[in-house]
Amino acid sequence: MPPASSSEAPLVFAHRGSLPEHTLDAYRDAIDAGADGLECDVRLTRDGHLICIHDRRLDRTSNGHGPVSTSLLEDLNGLEFGGARGILTLETLLRTVLDAGRPLRLLIETKHPTRHGAKVERALVAMLDRYGLATADPDAPVQVTVMSFAALALRRIRALAPTLPTVYLVEYVPPGVRTARLPFGAEILGPGVGALRAHPDLIRYAHARGRKAYVWTVNTDADLDLVRRLGADGIITDRPKFVLGALGR
């Protein structure tokens, strides 16, 4: 079956920067390997700093304990994350990407937005504004896209920055819900590869509505074959070198 989208090669994004996740070394490796873009999860510290971390708690990825949201940036900078001293802030990542010497894309996923009202979205848009990145600009050195599993978070982003592109992430399509009824207000649909295996028409569904589809987390030959066959526009992977190699890049 021919790809359902245009003949353009899919964009390759390093998921959480790849390994060790959310470390500057991983992000730099992905840039050096030739990834088109990077994916990053963000949360707020108690003192209002946006930091790059996936989990609600510190325990899995650092030698610290407890929730991120009750920690101060200064305390996090005393811990080790993936063998590196200190936490990676979104601002440091932004500067790294801006200094990369070539245009890059940055997918920023806001985590658990409803817990903290619109604080995360407001802080994110304010920071992007400071760097002139809170808008869709094909000539910008960094093209930012905001992602969330929560339609509420994406509505907040659209209210704060109406032209900033967004990805609506979908992990699971409940049985009995037809894909045509999936709630979807973003420019890009972001199905997990498991959701795509169960509902191979998801990409066609996005394309039929003039949207693109970025699929995560594509790490195996079989999944890469599936997303290429179905015409994904973006591939989010823990193995950017493997995916780039398989695409002949």
For the annotated catalytic residues, the residue numbers are: 15, 54
Q: What mask, x for binding ligand G3P by CB under 6 A, covers residues 7 to 26?
A: --------x-----------
| Residue carrying the six token digits 């780039």 | 244
Binding-site member from 38, 169, 189, 202 for ligand G3P (CB under 6 A)? 169
Q: Rounded to an integer, what distance in angstroms lies between the CA atom of residue 242 and that of residue 249? A: 10
Please select the residue that binds Ca ion; options are 14, 45, 87, 109, rule is CB under 5 A.
109
**Contact positions with Ca ion (CB under 5 A) in 27-46:** 41
Question: Given CA atoms 64, 217, 166, 36 in this order, what sign does their dihedral have?
Answer: positive
Task: Please identify the residue of the shown chain whose CB is closest to the bound ligand G3P.
Answer: 216
Which residue number, 41 or 223, has a Cβ lying nearer to Ca ion?
41
216 touches ligand G3P (CB under 6 A): yes
Under the criterion CB under 6 A, does residue 54 sit at the interface with ligand G3P? yes
Smallest distance, Å, CB 228 to ligand G3P?
18
State which residue, 69 or 129, has the beta carbon closest to ligand G3P: 69
238 lines the binding site for Ca ion (CB under 5 A): no
Q: By the 8 A CB rule, do 228 and 209 touch?
A: no
Pick one of 36, 39, 121, 233: the residue that binds ligand G3P (CB under 6 A).
39
Asked if 170 and 179 touch (Cβ cutoff 8 Å), the reply is no
Binding map of ligand G3P across residues 58-87, x = CB under 6 A, - = no contact: ------------------------------
Strands 50-52 and 37-44, how do they pair? Answer: antiparallel
Chain length of the chain: 249
Residue 202 partner contact from Ca ion, ligand G3P, none using kind-dependent CB cut-offs of 5 to 8 Å: none
Q: Does 116 bind ligand G3P (CB under 6 A)?
A: no
Pick left, alpha or beta for residue 16 (phi over 0 → left; psi -120 to 50 → alpha; otherwise beta): left
53 binds, among ligand G3P, Ca ion, none (CB under 5 to 8 A by kind): none
Residues 23, 27, 36, 41: which binds ligand G3P (CB under 6 A)?
Answer: 41
- Interacting partner of 236 out of Ca ion, ligand G3P, none (Cβ under 5 to 8 A depending on kind): ligand G3P
**By the 8 A CB rule, do 232 and 215 touch?**
yes
| 31 binding partner (options Ca ion, ligand G3P, none; Cβ < 5 to 8 Å by kind) | none
Residues of the shown chain interacting with Ca ion in the complex, contacts defined by CB under 5 A: 41, 109
Residues of the shown chain interacting with ligand G3P in the complex, contacts defined by CB under 6 A: 15, 39, 41, 54, 109, 169, 190, 216, 236
